[in-house]
Amino acid sequence: MASICELHRQLINKERSAVEIATEALDRIDRLEPKLKSFLCVTADRALEQARQVDAQIAAGEEIGPLAGIPIAIKDNMCTEGIPTTCASKILQNFVPPYESTVTQKLQAAGAVILGKTNLDEFAMGSSTENSAYQLTANPWDLERVPGGSSGGSAAAVASEEAVVALGSDTGGSIRQPASFCGVVGMKPTYGLVSRYGLVAYASSLDQIGPFGRTVKDAAILLNAIAGYDPKDATSLNVEIPDYTASLKPHLRPRGKMKVGVIKETFGSGLDPVVEQAVTKAIDVLQSLGAEIQVISCPRFRYGLPTYYIIAPSEASANLARYDGVKYGFRSPDAENLIEMYAKTRAEGFGAEVKRRIMVGTYALSAGYYDAYYLKAQKVRTLIKEDFDRAFTQVEVLVCPTSPTTAFKAGEKTADPLSMYLSDLMTIPVNLAGLPALSIPCGFDEQGLPIGMQLIGKVLGEGRLLEVAHAYEQATSWHIKKPPLK
Ligand code: GLN
């Protein structure tokens, strides 16, 4: 599949119709899904109907926007009216939302062709998509490996060109880490930039929806379409939204004006040497493009992981209390009374990781432990944010690896939740501070698996981030390489 701009050009020059483009994507899905399993549900009829509408607009001489007729995939934790939204959980097996999330509504209004809903770790809890109650998604670069998570289905769909772009959600790294594992661009915007209305809540103070694309420009175009104030989300930011493609230029000019900080604490022990090498080389490229490189210390960065694993489960334990078998979703069929129905529904409906987090969160919030765990974690969260605030008085963008390793084998970490949690070491502090960040391909390991570099920006610094990422992309060719899929 070509880029958004190329497809748009073909559409307006009437070289190809939107139906032809949608059909190409649907055929590719048909061919690849038996191996990849990125999608939980493919909405072919709706996609073709949307494409026909775009074609009718073009035929009538109407002007179409950049996303009109572009095939896109949606992570299955965003509500889509009339289309099942399962969060890859058994407890939402039969849930068909009666309303549309703000992001998908905006995409439909922009004429985007929604292909279907992608696989994820149950309720977005995980780093490999292996916590899905339904299926395992393969990494397009090596089918025995995981695509990362929790937005693994969206990342795999974009990397394999089943879709041109996709939406994911990122609570602790769930867009950036799978983007890194699958060799695509993935961005978590500033907290509040994109509406969470209709995004099934995991940890509400951390969750944020963002774009996946094979290029920075595609991601920027998708961000343009989904960003913006929404009165239906109480944490939505009421700010002017710039055109994020406007800052995409091949060089960082004027030379020396862009200060980029390398986070010292993210290098060294625990980091796969091949990842370290690739990111170090990428930093040299940034320098050659005109960035002034500075080493920055964020001493409290390392408390991100333990802090997150108190705050996120605490919020999850509250958010997931609504799945009780009464209002919607799965209900255990064989309970004698109400209390037993609640218990059995939750025992049978939730998977092991979700239960683990509900228990940890409930414990951390309980009267005797609230101060020692939850309150303490909130204080450390503030300290982590202070480290970033200090760093951003010296530089405009921070850089570090996205994940300490490349994609691991399916099953390799499922028995050891702690080692799984470590894959988000570098991404989690960003969510705790509410900052924007993206992952961009910056190399391959000796097995041909993609490596990602993370760029972190100031609050609402998306434009700067995309500018640096685009300049880097133009100077390198990692994004051109394709996974060896037949
Ligand atoms: N892997 C992290 C977790 O399991 C982050 C998930 C996410 O960003 N949704 O919580």
For the entire predicted model, the pTM comes to 0.98
Ligand 1 centre from 444 Cα, in Å?
Answer: 24
Ligand 1 centre from 150 Cα, in Å?
Answer: 6
Q: Is 174 in the active site?
A: yes
Cα 480 to Cα 350: distance, rounded to the nearest angstrom: 40
- HSE at residue 5, side-chain half, CA atoms within 13 A, is 9
Ligand 1 centre from 49 Cα, in Å?
Answer: 34
Residue nearest to atom 5 of ligand 1 (CA): 172
Give the pairing type, strands 71-75 and 113-118: parallel
Cα 128 to Cα 414: distance, rounded to the nearest angstrom: 9
Could you say which DSSP state residue 136 is in? P
Ligand 1 centre from 152 Cα, in Å?
Answer: 11
Report all structural domains of the chain as residue ranges with CATH numbers, in order of start: 4-255+395-480 (3.90.1300.10)
Q: Which atom of ligand 1 is nearest to the CA of 202?
A: 9
Q: Which of 150, 355, 431 best tests ligand 1's pocket when mutated (most atoms within 8 Å of CB)? A: 150
Ligand 1 centre from 218 Cα, in Å?
Answer: 24
pLDDT tens, residue order, the chain (486 aa): 899 999 999 999 999 999 999 999 999 999 999 999 999 999 999 999 999 999 999 999 999 999 999 999 999 999 999 999 999 999 999 999 999 999 999 999 999 999 999 999 999 999 999 999 999 999 999 999 999 999 999 999 999 999 999 999 999 999 999 999 999 999 999 999 999 999 999 999 999 999 999 999 999 999 999 999 999 999 999 999 999 999 898 778 677 789 999 999 999 888 999 999 999 999 999 999 999 999 999 999 999 999 999 999 999 999 999 999 998 899 999 899 999 999 999 999 999 999 999 999 999 999 999 999 999 999 999 999 999 999 999 999 999 999 999 999 999 999 888 888 888 999 999 999 999 999 999 999 999 999 999 999 999 999 999 999 999 999 999 999 999 986
Q: Are 454 and 438 in contact (CB under 8 A)?
A: yes
Opening angle at CA 413, ends 408 and 415, nearest 5: 160
What the block records as the tokens of 268 is 């060294």
Q: Is 317 in the active site?
A: no
**What are the start-end ranges of the H helices in 141-300?**
152-159, 176-182, 216-226, 273-288
One-letter identity of residue 403: S
Q: Which atom of ligand 1 is nearest to the CA of 149?
A: 1
Report the side by side order of strands in the sheet with 397-401.
39-42, 113-118, 71-75, 165-170, 208-213, 185-188, 437-444, 450-457, 397-401, 258-263, 291-296
Q: Is 150 in the active site?
A: yes
Q: At what angle do helices 304-319 and 376-394 cross, to 10 degrees?
A: 130
For residue 306, count other CB atoms closer than 10 A to its CB. Answer: 15
Q: Are 199 and 207 in contact (CB under 8 A)?
A: yes
Ligand 1 centre from 125 Cα, in Å?
Answer: 5
CB-based contacts of 1, cutoff 8 Å, min separation 6: 7, 21, 24, 25, 28, 71, 161, 163, 164
Opening angle at CA 238, ends 234 and 240, nearest 5: 155
Q: Which atom of ligand 1 is nearest to the CA of 206?
A: 8
Q: Are 178 and 171 in contact (CB under 8 A)?
A: no
Q: Are 351 and 125 in contact (CB under 8 A)?
A: no
Give yes or no for a cis peptide into 236 (omega within 30° of 0).
no
Q: At what angle do helices 216-226 and 462-475 cross, to 10 degrees?
A: 160
Ligand 1, CB cutoff 6 Å, lining residues? 124-127, 150, 170-174, 202, 312, 424
Q: Which atom of ligand 1 is nearest to the CA of 124?
A: 9
Q: Which of 17, 38, 75, 423 is catalytic?
A: 75
Q: Which atom of ligand 1 is nearest to the CA of 174?
A: 8
**CA distance to 76, 86, 92, 178, 263, per residue, from 152 (Å):** 11, 15, 19, 6, 26
Q: Which of 171, 200, 427 best tests ligand 1's pocket when mutated (most atoms within 8 Å of CB)? A: 171
For residue 246, count other CB atoms closer than 10 A to its CB. Answer: 12
Ligand 1 centre from 470 Cα, in Å?
Answer: 26
Q: Which of 127, 150, 160, 169 is catalytic?
A: 150
Q: Which of 38, 127, 160, 174 is catalytic?
A: 174
Please choose, from the candidates 276, 280, 262, the residue with its C-alpha nearest in 3D space to the C-alpha of residue 445: 276
pLDDT at position 486: 61
> How far from each other are the two terminal CA atoms of the chain, in whole angstroms?
14
